[in-house]
Amino acid sequence: MATNQQNHLLAFFTAMDNQGGIIVRDAPKLDLDLYISNYKGRTRFERLLVIGQCSVTLCLDALKAAIVEAKKGKDVQRYRDAWECIRTAAPAEPEAIWDDAWVNATERANKLETQRLEAELKGYKNNLVKESIRIGHRDLGEHLESIGDLNGAADAYLKMRPDASTQSHILDVGKHIISTMLQKRDWPGALANINKVLVANMSPEEQNAEQPYQKMVSGLAYLGTEKYHEAARSFLEVGDPIVCQRYNDVVSSNDIATYGGLLALASMDRLELQIRVLDNSAFRNYLELEPHIRKAVSMFVNGRYSACLAILESYRADYLLDIYLQKHVASLFSLIRSKCIVQYFLPFSCVTLDSMNTAFAKPGESLEDELISMIKSGVLKARINTIDKLLVAVSNNARVAMQTQGIEAARNYEREALERIRRMSLAAADLEVRGQSRKIGSTGGNLAGVGDIWSDDSNRRLYNPGETASS
Amino acid sequence: MDQLAPVLLAFPPENPTDDNDTYDKAVKAHLNRLTKLLKDNNADLILHGPQLLELLSPAVNSLSYLAVLHTLVIPSLATSMARDLLLEKLAIFLVSFDGRQCRYAGTHLHDLLSTVGSGQYLPPSVAVDVLATAILKLDPTGRMLTSTHIILARLAYNTDNIEPALKVIDKIIVFYPNMINYKEPQYLCDLDLFPPAYITRENGLTAVVKAAAVMEYDLLCGMMYCARREWAKAHAAFERVVTFPTREGGTSKIMAEAYKKWVLVSLLLNGKHTDPPSYTGAAANKLYGTLGKSYVSVATSFVTENAEGLKAEVEKNAEIWQEDGNTGLIQEVLAAYQKWRVLNLQDIYTKISISEIREQTLSAETGEKLGKDEDVEALVQNMIIGGMLKGVIEKNDDGTVFLTFLSSTTELSELEFADELLRMASRLKELQPIFRATSERLGTSKDYVKHIMKESKRNEKSDAPDPTLGFDAQVDDEDLMGGVIQTG
């Protein structure tokens, strides 16, 4: 029985791998129940499904939880997705049996509800009460979102805008639209909306209350578009954790800490890390939630790069199971790693490869290939000495550079001057290569005075020497 | 014979003068006498030719010598004299004549040069040397192209006698025959004259030179440098053809041929291919894009690590290389591939063992690694000897042979640097006469003066801005000479 189960899991993950999905074999440090209780709303299902599809150890638990989560809602497609997964992964489980009754009942109810809301909205429109129309659109949008029709929901939310009369209404519209965009992973759209909606003039209190949401969404959008430095800045400026907690249908405070710390490590230098991360009193609250991030950052700032990398490496599985971070883990880790190597090497003119290996390489492996690719891409300004096993810094001799540049300039001047005169002479001797159409007209090419280089050929023919003499 | 000799020996006078006016008159008088002589006593000249040539000195009595020689050689070799002796005299004359005198007998001299250039009489190696020397006798600066240059280049390239031609083809050409605005010089014998002033079609020192011939000359030069593996000079020569001035969308097949070779030579010289300079004609550029496609794709794979890809690319188009006559260059490119890969290693390593080089670089000739470390060592050694690579091959105590890359630029001492700058400055000063000649030419040009007048008129009018005038100004700014005038 157990081996049978194993085989099904294997088949499931092979299929996932073939689809280009990420497979996490190591057990993450997170506790599934605790983790998911941090969130509310539609993101819970998304996260459970991702974990179910990616983590070998948590697969079954997560998928079962996802089924339960899906059945709590009204989105039939989500149930179908989760069921497809569990059907291949564990056909023996009771959750793997298709619940036709629930599906039919939900679909029918959804249809009725949609019709009801549409009819209601029509009624509001006939009555021409702005507020009611707005509410009608919102209700319809929320319903459509909950049954998984994101495009329909976005349309409905957009129609709220003409009827939004107060600042809070506009905010409301914006948040609803952004919510659908985040689910559709439309990062540029989310970014445009967050700036459009929330930048309007607000009182300081409002500003305080809205900043966490604004920063967290723009951070996610920047992360999604791989602008890591901007993303890090956004996450570090999120602000009040209590307000942030309110938006746990998007991300949790723990996530803010992880994203902010990790992105900062990948995109900032040591000084900036110290100022913006460690000395940042607002962000400290978040760091307390994820002490390992705090530790990694301070290790990096203190120059203990291998320890920093070791910490991050031990949490790699957790990062890989995060829906937003997942895709960027590999590039973020390699960014941090090459930064560590560059920083490690910075104070030296020469380092033995062995000490680099002990600091950065996995046991038994050599760092050389990585160093080569870093040198090639210009990240690391150094050269390798494979005979004495050294990494040597490139010395920039400004004098030599100046001298070569000076001589080069003189040489170029000479060459260019001669080339220009040569071309002028060619023009003066009427030796240019002409287009076919002009061939007939230029038979007198070598007669002095005919090769008029100042005016166009056609002008010359119209031009009468006698006339200029008089004019 | 007795009446011929005194006339022929009459010039130059015993105590020659440097005064242009006197010299000019004397030469002209002598020319008149010679002309008469040639007309009336042609048969005598042919008969007594050998003795007369013995009597005259080719370097001193150049004009008379030329006259006699011309009668003997043109239209066909005279029978009154042993063929070998006559040809020897011809060769001696052409390498020793007085350039100042012969300016007055351009047509005759040109006839002799063309005869030599035909390659029928003198052995090619001698002919090339004679032509090259004669060209420099006439124009010591070597800055001006004549029809003889083209004859020389053809002969040298076709008979593979490049060495003796180098002294001419190494010179950078800046003047061409029959440029406009050169008025007839007052004294043809004036030694301060610039070559374009006295080497003209009218006085016979050069024949008509067409654009195609100019390009052919540069193309031949490039090919000669290729034969000598002087890639930098070859590159410059081909580039002159590739960027040849065009107007009205003109292009030429020679330009396309040059472009193909230029691409390959860039690979050999710089290890990579770049787009033609910005001043290349637009239509020509388009032509290069279509005709040179397979060459550019070779260049693209040349810079990658994919040796097999390069090899495949080359083999796929073997017919094209054959047709274009570039098989040799392509072979060079294949051979150079690994060298450039080794050279690129210096961006990564300071020291690297020979066996590691073998592991990391592929030969494009086979698409595989070299078989033995010794082969790699030989390759690297050749690169060092050839000056392509700065480095040394050393051996460790444990027997590992390795290559140490040295810095490609060495720091000069303050003194050395000053010397170098001084040398540069004097080279730039040497350009002064060329600048002067060019600005003089422009200064006397009717069109240029017209242009200046138009410019100043427009400046006066500028208080009443007119959009059409503004547009005019833009057109004028495109003038080739606009930027250079101030430097002269």
pLDDT digits (tens, 9 = 90+) for A33-62: 888 888 888 888 888 888 888 888 888 888
A80, A82, A85, A86 alpha-carbon torsion, rounded to 10° = -110
Is residue B91 within 8 A of residue B41, CB to CB? The reply is: no
Predicted local distance difference test score (pLDDT) of residue A1: 53
Q: Which of A385, A407, A448 is opposite residue B349, by nearest beta carbon?
A: A385
Predicted local distance difference test score (pLDDT) of residue B475: 44
Please report the residues numbered 426 through 455 in chain A whose beta carbons come closer than 8 angstroms to any beta carbon of chain B. Answer: 426-438, 445-446, 448-455
* pLDDT (average), residues A293-305: 89
With tokens 């990790």, the residue in question is A262
Predicted local distance difference test score (pLDDT) of residue B242: 92
CB–CB of B434 and A418 under 8 A? yes
pTM score over 0.90: no
Residue ranges in chain B modelled with pLDDT below 50: 464-479, 482-488
Cα separation, A32 vs A416, in Å, equals: 71
Best A392, A431, A447 residue to mutate vs chain B (most B CBs within 10 Å) = A431
Tell how strand A390-393 and strand A382-385 pair up. Answer: antiparallel
* pLDDT (average), residues A7-23: 81
In sequence order, which ranges of B325-481 are alpha helices (DSSP H)? 327-344, 354-360, 373-385, 414-430, 432-443, 446-461, 467-477
In sequence order, which ranges of B160-273 are alpha helices (DSSP H)? 166-169, 195-198, 211-227, 231-242, 253-270
* pLDDT (average), residues A361-387: 82
Confidence of residue A341 (pLDDT cuts 50, 70, 90): confident
Cα separation, A259 vs A220, in Å, equals: 9
Residue A397 CA, distance from chain mean position: 39
Confidence of residue A442 (pLDDT cuts 50, 70, 90): very low
| Beta-bridge partners for B144 | B175
> What phi and psi values does residue B154 have, to the nearest 5 degrees?
-60, -50
Residue B70 CA, distance from chain mean position: 29
Domains of chain A: 203-347 (1.25.40.570), 348-393 (no CATH), 430-471 (no CATH)
A29 touching B (Cβ < 8 Å): no
A384 touching B (Cβ < 8 Å): yes
Dihedral sign (CA A272, A275, A277, A283) = negative
Residue type, A106: T
Q: How many CB pairs under 8 A join A and B?
A: 177
| Beta-bridge partners for A391 | A351, A384
Helix (H) or strand (E) holding A434: strand A433-434
What is the average pLDDT value for chain B, to the nearest integer?
84
Cα separation, B4 vs A459, in Å, equals: 58
Predicted local distance difference test score (pLDDT) of residue A464: 38
- In order of A32, A98, A168, A311, B339, the CA distances from A289 in angstroms are 17, 40, 31, 16, 57
- In order of B263, B270, B331, B386, the CA distances from B364 in angstroms are 18, 17, 10, 20
A459 touching B (Cβ < 8 Å): no
Is B38 exposed, middle or buried (CB count within 10 Å of its CB: 0-12, 13-18, 19+)? middle
Best B175, B242, B257, B348 residue to mutate vs chain A (most A CBs within 10 Å) = B348
Is residue B4 within 8 A of residue B18, CB to CB? The reply is: no
Predicted local distance difference test score (pLDDT) of residue B330: 92
Is residue A85 within 8 A of residue A61, CB to CB? The reply is: no
Residue A435 CA, distance from chain mean position: 53
| Beta-bridge partners for A382 | A393
B23-31 long-range contacts, CB within 8 A, separation 24+: B23/B187, B23/B189, B24/B187, B24/B188, B24/B189, B27/B63, B27/B101, B27/B104, B27/B189, B28/B104, B30/B63, B30/B64, B31/B63, B31/B104, B31/B105
Classify B248 in phi/psi space as left (phi over 0), alpha (psi -120 to 50) or beta: left
Closest CA to A49 of A29, A10, A75, A18: A75
CB–CB of B431 and A414 under 8 A? yes
Residue A469 pLDDT greater than 70, yes or no: no
Predicted local distance difference test score (pLDDT) of residue A439: 41
**pLDDT over 90 for what percent of chain A?**
5
Is residue B394 within 8 A of residue B401, CB to CB? The reply is: yes
Tell me which DSSP letter residue A239 carries.
-
